[in-house]
Amino acid sequence: MMNALFVLLCFLVTASDVLAPGIEIGIKDGKISCLGTSLPRDASTEIIDAKGAYVTPGGVDSHVHFQQDNSPTGDNWVTGSRSAIAGGTTTVLAFASQLKTEESVIPCITEYRTRAKGRSFCDYGFHLILTNPTPTIMSTEMPLLISQGITSVKLYMTYEPLKLGDSQLLNVLMSARVLGFTTMVHAENSDIISLITNRLEAAGHTDPYFHAISRPQIAENEATYRIISLAELTDTPILIVHMSSEIAMEHVRKAQTRMLPIHAETCPQYLFLLSERLKGNEKDKFEGAKCVCSPPLRHDPRDLEAMWRGIANGTFTTFSSDHAPSTYDHAGGKKLGLKDGIMRYRNIPNGVPGVETRLPLLFDFAGREKDSRLSLQRFVQLTSSDPAKLYGLEGTKGNIAPGYDADLVIWHPEAELEEGVVIEQKNLHHGVDYTPYEGMIVRNWPRYTILRGKKVWDRDNGGILGTQVDGKFLQRGKGRIVVGKTGQEVKGMLAGERDYWY
Ligand code: DUC
Ligand code: ZN
Ligand code: ZN
Ligand code: ZN
C-alpha cells in the first residue's frame, strides 16, 4: 500500500503559499508523506475528496485553560479538547499552575499531566505558570522540565495569588536567557486595578460592567512598557499574551521596529467584542458576567480596529483563544458572580469560551474578495505555524509538508455554504452554557478535522469521530524567536556596557 490516507483537493494553504488547484496530500503512519498530483494509490487507500475546498494545517491554540485549579467551573480536558477538534484545532497548549506555597513544581506538573492523560481529543502540551520562582526551581527544576518537553512559562503581573514583582520577573528573564524557555507575560498593573476596584466597591459599583472600568487601558499600557523594558535589559525574548488596547500594542510595535524579540498575542474577544456587552440586557441584567475577561473588553471600537491592524501587519505572532470559561447559569438559579442576591464582578472568574470558534471567526476575514483583513497565508501563520515555531513544535506541527504530523483542517468548498454558518451555543461542544458569539454568521466551518491522519471531526456525518484517547502529550523542543533578535543594544546603555554582567 502506498498511502494510508489521501486528500484530493483544490487549494492547499500554508503560511507561505496557496497552491494551485489539484494538489494531493499523501499521508502515511500519521505523517504527511508526500504532496503532488496523481499520487500512487491502491484499493486500500482511503480517499477524502476535498475538491473546491481550502485545506489548512490543524490549528495550534497556544493559550487555553482546561481543568485548572483556579477556574474550577470551566471546561475539563474531555469537553475542552472535544470543542477544539470540532473547531479545527488539533493542538492545544494549556497551563499547569504552581501554587504560591509550592516550593517544587514537579508535583504540580505531574498532577496536570495526569488530568489530561487519556482525556484529550487533541494533542497537547503545557506551559508552567510560575507564581513562586525560587532559586532551586529555576536552577534545578526548569532544566528538568525543559528536558521533558515543557519549554515555556507564563508570568503574571497582576492577581494577588499569581503576580510577580519586578525583581522576580527579572530573575525569571535572566534564567530564560540562559535556559532558552519561552516566557509569556500577562501585563496589567496590579496596583492600579486594586485602587480602582476598592473605590468602586466602596461606592457600590459592583455590576459586571465595572469590571471594564476597574482595568483601564493605562494598566495594560504601563505593564506592557515595563515588561518590554525588563526584556530589553535582560536581552530575552517574551510574548505578551491577550493584548487588547492600541496604546499598549504600540509599545510592542515600537520595540519590534528596534528589532527587539518582543512577541504579542491577541484573541477573538478583542477583535469582535466591546465593553457594552458587560451591561447585560433587559431580560437578564447580570448577563454581562458572560463577557468578563482580562484585560477587559474595551470601550472604543478604535481598539478593535487597532487589534485588526496588528493582526494584518505582523505585530501579533499568535492568535489564541484564551479559552477560560465558566458556566453562567448553575442549577438552582445560581448565576456566575451572584451571591445572596448581590452581583460582584470581582467574584466572576475571568475568561470566555473560544477554542471552537477561534478558527472560523478569523477565517471569515481571510482571503475574502471584499473586505479581506488578512491573507489566507497570514491566517495560517497566526493560528498554526507561528505558535508552533514559538513554542518548540516546528517540524512537527503548523505546516503541510512531508514529515510533519498530518493535522489538517478541510473547510467546506466555498460554494457550498452560501448562507454561511450561524454560531449557536447548541452546536458547540464545550462544557459551558453560552458563547459570546451567539448569532454571528461566519462564511465557513471546518468540514473535517484530521489529527495525525485520523478523521476526528466530520461536520456532515457524525460530528465528533475521535475519542478522548487520541490526543498525545507533546514533548516540545525549545521555541524559536519569530520576530526580532537578541544581542540588540539597550536604550540608554553604551554598546558593550551590558557585557560587564554577562
Ligand atoms: N488571564 C488569562 O490568560 N486567562 C484568563 C484570565 C486571565 O487573567
Ligand atoms: Zn500545583
Ligand atoms: Zn492572563
Ligand atoms: Zn489565559
Per residue in 324-350, pLDDT tens?
Answer: 999 998 776 778 888 888 889 999 999
Q: Which bound ligand lies closest to the C-alpha atom of 97? A: 2
| pLDDT attached to residue 2 | 46
Nearest atom of ligand 1 to the alpha carbon of 158: 8
Q: CB–CB of 358/319 below 8 Å?
A: yes
DSSP state of 366: B
Q: Which of 62, 63, 65, 159 to mutate to test the pocket of ligand 1 (most atoms within 8 A of CB)?
A: 65
| pLDDT attached to residue 502 | 58
Distance 349 CA to ligand 2 centre (A): 19
Q: What is the largest CA-CA distance in the chain?
A: 74
Q: CB–CB of 433/425 below 8 Å?
A: yes
Cell numbers 491577550 correspond to: 242
Neighbouring residues of the ion ligand 2, judged by CB less than 5 Å: 108
To 5 degrees, how large is the angle CA 346–CA 347–CA 352? Answer: 90
**Smallest Cα–Cα separation from 211: which of 281, 299, 326?**
299
Distance 95 CA to ligand 4 centre (A): 8
Nearest atom of ligand 1 to the alpha carbon of 293: 6
**Smallest Cα–Cα separation from 430: which of 74, 91, 123?**
74
Nearest atom of ligand 1 to the alpha carbon of 241: 3
Distance 215 CA to ligand 3 centre (A): 13
Distance 294 CA to ligand 3 centre (A): 7
| pLDDT attached to residue 1 | 41
Residue nearest to ligand 1 atom 3, measured at CA = 322
For residues 320 and 296, what is the distance between their CA atoms, to the nearest angstrom? Answer: 16
pTM of the predicted protein model: 0.97
For residues 325 and 327, what is the distance between their CA atoms, to the nearest angstrom? Answer: 7
Cis peptide preceding 446, ω within 30 of 0: no
Nearest atom of ligand 1 to the alpha carbon of 95: 3
Residue nearest to ligand 1 atom 5, measured at CA = 351
3-state helix, strand, coil split of the chain in percent (to 5) is: 30, 20, 45
Residues at CB less than 6 angstroms from ligand 1: 65, 186, 241-242, 294, 322, 324, 350-351
What does DSSP say about strands 59-61 and 31-36: parallel, antiparallel, or unpaired? unpaired
What does DSSP say about strands 238-240 and 182-186: parallel, antiparallel, or unpaired? parallel
User: What are the DSSP E strand ranges found in 227-335?
Assistant: 238-240, 262-266, 318-319, 329-330, 334-335
What does DSSP say about strands 342-343 and 338-339: parallel, antiparallel, or unpaired? antiparallel
> What's domain 59-189+215-326+350-398+415-441+470-502's superfamily in CATH?
Metal-dependent hydrolases (3.20.20.140)
**Which residue stretches of the chain have pLDDT < 70?**
1-4, 71-72, 332, 501-502
Residue nearest to ligand 1 atom 6, measured at CA = 350
Nearest atom of ligand 1 to the alpha carbon of 159: 8
Neighbouring residues of the ion ligand 3, judged by CB less than 5 Å: 186
For residues 116 and 474, what is the distance between their CA atoms, to the nearest angstrom? Answer: 12
Distance 322 CA to ligand 1 centre (A): 7
What is the total residue count of the chain? 502
Q: Kindly report the number of other CB atoms within 10 A of residue 341's CB atom.
A: 5
Nearest atom of ligand 1 to the alpha carbon of 295: 8
Q: Which bound ligand lies closest to the C-alpha atom of 293? A: 1
For residues 50 and 460, what is the distance between their CA atoms, to the nearest angstrom? Answer: 13
Residue nearest to ligand 1 atom 7, measured at CA = 294
Q: Which of 63, 186, 267, 346 to mutate to test the pocket of ligand 1 (most atoms within 8 A of CB)?
A: 186
For residues 138 and 144, what is the distance between their CA atoms, to the nearest angstrom? Answer: 10
Which helix H or strand E contains 94, and what residues bound it? strand 89-97
